[in-house]
Amino acid sequence: MLLPHACVALILTVPNSNQDDDIKLTSHERMLITLEQIRIKCEGDNLYLGWGPVEAARERLSLLPKDRQNRDRHRALVVLGRELLRMGETEAAIEAYLEAVQGLEVLPQDTKVDRTELGEVRL
């Protein structure tokens, strides 16, 4: 398995906290500890492996009123859909995109919607 560049950089920067310990670890045990540290770090921060962006999108959406005519809610649903799709959660992404599209149908006529934003919600 190839690691993304951000994780490879972590391998080089994760300190070996066991150097001063009296307990001697095998190189395999040290590797497992380092890989676990990388997994934890990447889980939230890594764009390709982490759930952090999904959680941030859900948090943003939860702070917005549930009014379907809310343009900010529409944008938040598009972002959530994209992040869920990136993480392989296809069904949840489709639900978010469908809610965004349904919101477009009831937005006031004079509401300006960016064409790139519309392109992201085409199914």
Domain membership of residue 11 as a residue range: 5-45
Nearby residues of 101 by Cβ (< 8 Å), 6 or more positions away: 121, 123
74 and 99 together in one domain: yes
The structural domain count of the chain equals 2
Of residues 67 and 58, the one with the higher pLDDT is 58
CA distances from 87 to 6, 14, 48 (A): 17, 25, 8
For the full predicted model, state whether its pTM sits above 0.75: no
Contact 123, 94 (CB under 8 A): yes
62 and 112 together in one domain: yes
Q: Could you read off the pLDDT of 18-62 as tens digits, one per residue?
A: 555 557 889 999 999 999 988 888 776 676 667 888 999 999 999
